[in-house]
Chain A
Amino acid sequence: MKKVFLQPMTVRIWHWVNALSFFVLVATGVQIRYRDIPNLATFKTSVDLHNFFGFLLIADFLLWFAFYVFTGKIRVYVPLNPKKFIVGALRQMRYYGYGMMIGEKDPHHATPEEKFNPLQQSAYFMVMLILMPLQVVSGILLWDIRMFAGWIAMLGGLRVVDIVHVVAFFLLTAFLFVHVYLTTLGRTPLAHIKAMFTGYEEVEENE
């Protein structure tokens, strides 16, 4: 077994702050939107927490974006070679749907340069470079609808911005379940999670 340094400190800090913010934002978002279902906090507390962790998430997102852009690591999210991406994605889908069931080895070998398999890459690309910016922008617009009235009108009105925010919320929440599950699909169930604390992931020597 050998240890590979996959998660730099900045990424690890970003990840756990992001995870905490995500959790609070989902919980308070549900509490705000579905006032009549759970009643864990008052509406005002929920809104205040949502606003606070929303801005924390935005700051964290900017940290992540700056780190990945300035280090050039942003390319791990972007499928630069479409042919390689498609082939790799099909192979990875086969693995998750069949190969894994019959005990085949994971076709993707994580390295600092290719941290994600093609499916992870496309999923995180969607999440980090499309859904998150949409969620951040729509969230900021909804935070002060008077200040951003012009922008909101340009985008089709308050309810349209709300729909964007809510649909992104549903997709991100759905992704959360998948994401947490996928973290258990490492060499051991806790291998990926441990790596996000230590930065190092244990991989087999022959990998």
Chain B
Amino acid sequence: MRRYFARKLLTYFLTFFVAVTLDWGIPRLMPGDPIAGLLSKFQLQPSSYAVLHSSYTRAFNLGEPLWRQYLDFWRALLHGSLGTSIYAYPDPVTTVIRHAVVFTLALLLPATVLSYLAGNKVGAIAARRKLLDDTVLPFSYVLTATPYQWLALLLAFVLASVAHVFPISGGFSYSLVPTLSWAFLWSLLTHWFLPFVTLFLVGFGGWAIGMRNLIIYELDADYAHFLESLGAPRRLVRKYAYKNARLPQLTGLALSLGTIVGGAVVTEIVFNYPGIGWLVLQAINSEDFFLLQGIFLFIIVGVLLANFVVDVVYVLVDPRTRIGLQEGTR
């Protein structure tokens, strides 16, 4: 067991190293000059432009040779620093991400978990009731095949633009200053609702279809037929099928929980919701290497952690993996 986890950890560290290196390199392959982008916000004389440009380039260490930048990047990273954001200059990247991550988590965590729970329940029921299967299944297929931005636009149009039930954009009303008041919380909640519903509905369709298909597969497995030949009631057969069908779903859940910190790019953009996904767009638009790196690093760590959790949880819930470990076959 210990050897198994030691080997897993080694794999994770290697993956982390490679991913971080790519994370550092990819933004630098983007065409354009981030400092020029930053300075274009100011009205500058050509002479002061040149001075500012060289001083900013020095400040961000962009004049150094690449290998140097790379080493500096690792050194700063190990000290917990991701540099200064160009887009939100002069805020450090960690602060910018911290503000956005709160919105993203508040949005995606409930959307993912609730759609997982509801989708699995409904999918499992659909697998055994013809009528429900005939209605839920096509509905779920439509939902899961719906592009987020399309559903988001539809909801925004109907419920915000036309009916004025919900606000159309932002994380909270611009006329409010963030305080711990009922008015502010209410504003947060109403702004949160539409992006949440978008993510929930699309996710729900996928989970429901997955669970339904898995249950039907399990109900046709040999052990299910054997139980039937022993006269076991349907309740028991279904209980077993449900428990076994949950395992692949659980993997899916953990993986999507891992990518949560990456935010929901298109949905957040449609609703102008100030989460990580929206921040990605801002970082790209202003060629903010450091912010983009920081966000990607966040996603890398999230995915790796989630994978690790899946490994551990699987060992706990599925005897087949556990026994594989004891025999040292894995």
Are A and B bound to each other? no
Interface positions of B (Cβ within 8 A of A): none
